Amino acid sequence: MSGAPAGYEILRKIGTGGMAEVLLARRYPSDGLARIVVLKRLLERHRANAEIVTMFRDEARLMAMLCHPGIAQVYALEEQDGIPVLVMEHVDGPTLRAVLDAGRESSAHRLPIRVALAIGVAIAEALAYVHERSDDIGLPLRIVHRDVNPTNVLVRFDGYVKLVDFGIARSETRVVETRTGVLKGTLGYMAPEQLRGRRDLDHRTDVFSLGVVLYELVAGVHPFPATTPDELATRVLGGRFVGLRSAGHRVRRSLARTIEACLASDREARPASVRDVLSGLIEEANAVGGLPVPAEVSRVVRDLVPRLALVERDERRPEGPTRLSRSPASMAPPAASRSRSRSRRRTRSKTVVVALALALVVVTAGAYLVGRVLAGR
């Protein structure tokens, strides 16, 4: 990992994808209001590839046009030795992938239905906003995310949900179209037309991917079970998903219809918009007692996924530029140092017991000797 862009301190790496690395960092702006941010930095090996550099800048430009509570906010586009670095809001929580995996391993084998619906509604709201976004003079931008999948959805520990990764999103403003013949997306979430390499993808591609995510949210398993990528692609292309109710998942008929409609291999047969899917989800939520508040989602997520400290103790600065820069979460000592201090406490109490025992032996021996001396007189 190379150094940090000027004005930033890198705390740790969050992950590395094909195009960029994602880093947790602290930003020290000139106004003194330091804060934790996420840096998405183009990998050095792509620096000379003009097409990839333009794609990366496109991602930043596109994200900067989006302002929605369900989308991670972009703050700036920095430059480090000629490499573009995207600065964005840090979403403090696990990916939906991690939440789904933990839910599947729990005793219920899936998430509670109202929490699953709340997460699904949040994703659909963000996507509907993206699809409907127009430019400043009202012309539709026709943005398609093209990579809606559980690793690109983050669930904050406080129960709010955010969509990330517009790296391959398409819009009217995109400067470069992704290279011909190169499939972009995530297998298992790509719509059949995307798998076939069609270039005229529209928002209905996202409707398909949303359908796969919704299916996993309510059932805990993938709608197209397969053991090899080829088998998976064949199943998706043939529209051969496992029916929610026929597989025994306890899902109301109307919800199963809403989700399965998204999975139609022919995009004409899918719901016309994410907004339509959203209406179905909200109706469903109303039928099962209403959408839970974020605190309820938070409780479930915290139960499923352990929350580690944001930064290690050593990374905390005793004299940071501003005390406000440190959240209460980052003030909590990390688990490792908590257990270190516990073992130090244990060692200290053992020493006290041994010292007391020694003192007792010395006092007893002294008393005995004095007694002998007195008796001998």
Ligand X SMILES: Nc1ncnc2c1ncn2[C@@H]1O[C@H](COP(=O)(O)OP(=O)(O)O)[C@@H](O)[C@H]1O
38 binds, among Mg ion, ligand X, none (CB under 5 to 8 A by kind): ligand X
x/- mask, ligand X, residues 25-44, rule CB under 6 A, reads: -------------x-x----
298 makes contact with ligand X (CB under 6 A) = no
Q: How far is the CB of 24 from ligand X (least distance, A)?
A: 8
301 binds, among Mg ion, ligand X, none (CB under 5 to 8 A by kind): none
Least Å from the CB of residue 284 to ligand X = 28
261 binds ligand X (CB under 6 A): no
Question: What binding mask, one character per residue, do residues 152-191 give for ligand X by CB under 6 A, x or -?
Answer: x-x---------xx-x------------------------
CB closer to Mg ion, 186 vs 265: 186
**230 an active-site residue?**
no
Q: Does 226 bind ligand X (CB under 6 A)?
A: no
- 88 vs 251, beta carbon nearer ligand X: 88
CA neighbours within 13 Å on the CB side: how many for 206? 31
19 binds ligand X (CB under 6 A): yes
95 binds ligand X (CB under 6 A): yes
Q: Which segment (9-17, 105-113, 273-281, 330-338) binds ligand X by CB under 6 A?
A: 9-17
Q: How far apart are the first and last CA of the chain?
A: 82
Give the residue among 59, 115, 171, 165 at the shortest CA–CA distance from 297: 115
Active-site annotation holder among 31, 58, 81, 147? 147
CB of 340 to ligand X, least distance (A): 27
Comparison of 63 and 285: residue with beta carbon closer to ligand X: 63
Interaction partner, residue 98 (Mg ion, ligand X, none; CB < 5-8 Å by kind): none
Does residue 22 touch ligand X according to CB under 6 A? yes
Cβ 89 to ligand X shortest distance, Å = 6
Q: Which is nearer to Mg ion, 14 or 53 (CB)?
A: 14
How many whole angstroms separate alpha carbon 13 and alpha carbon 40? 10
CB of 18 to ligand X, least distance (A): 6
Nearer to Mg ion among residue 163 and residue 277 (C-beta): 163
Query: How far, in Å, CA of 327 to CA of 137, rounded?
Result: 39
- 377 class by beta-carbon count within 10 Å (0-12 exposed, 13-18 middle, 19+ buried): exposed
Encode the chain in three state secondary structure.
CCCCCCCEEEEEEEEECCCEEEEEEEECCCCCCCEEEEEEEECHHHCCCHHHHHHHHHHHHHHHCCCCCCECCEEEEEEECCEEEEEEECCCCCEHHHHHHHHHHCCCCCCCHHHHHHHHHHHHHHHHHHHHCECCCCCECCCECCCCCHHHEEECCCCCEEECCCCCCECCCCCCCCCCCCCCCCCCCCCHHHHCCCCCCCHHHHHHHHHHHHHHHHHCCCCCCCCCHHHHHHHHHCCCCCCCCCCCCCCCHHHHHHHHHHCCCCHHHCCCCHHHHHHHHHHHHHHCCCCCCHHHHHHHHHHHCCCCCCCCHHHCCCCCCCHHHCCHHHHCCCHHHHHHHHHHHHHHHHHHHHHHHHHHHHHHHHHHHHHHHHHHC
Q: Which of 89, 62, 53, 56 is nearest to 74 (CA)?
A: 89
Given the complex with Mg ion, which of 16 and 286 has the nearer CB atom? Answer: 16
Taking the least distance from each CB to Mg ion, the nearer of 190 and 285 is: 190
CB of 125 to Mg ion, least distance (A): 20
Footprint of ligand X on 98-157 (CB under 6 A): 151-152, 154
Task: Single out the residue of 4, 39, 42, 91 in contact with ligand X (rule: CB under 6 A).
Answer: 91
Q: List the single partner that 236 binds among Mg ion, ligand X, none, CB under 5 to 8 Å by kind.
A: none
Catalytic residues: 147
Rule CB under 6 A: which residues touch ligand X? Answer: 14-15, 17, 19-20, 22, 38, 40, 72, 88-91, 95, 151-152, 154, 164-165, 167
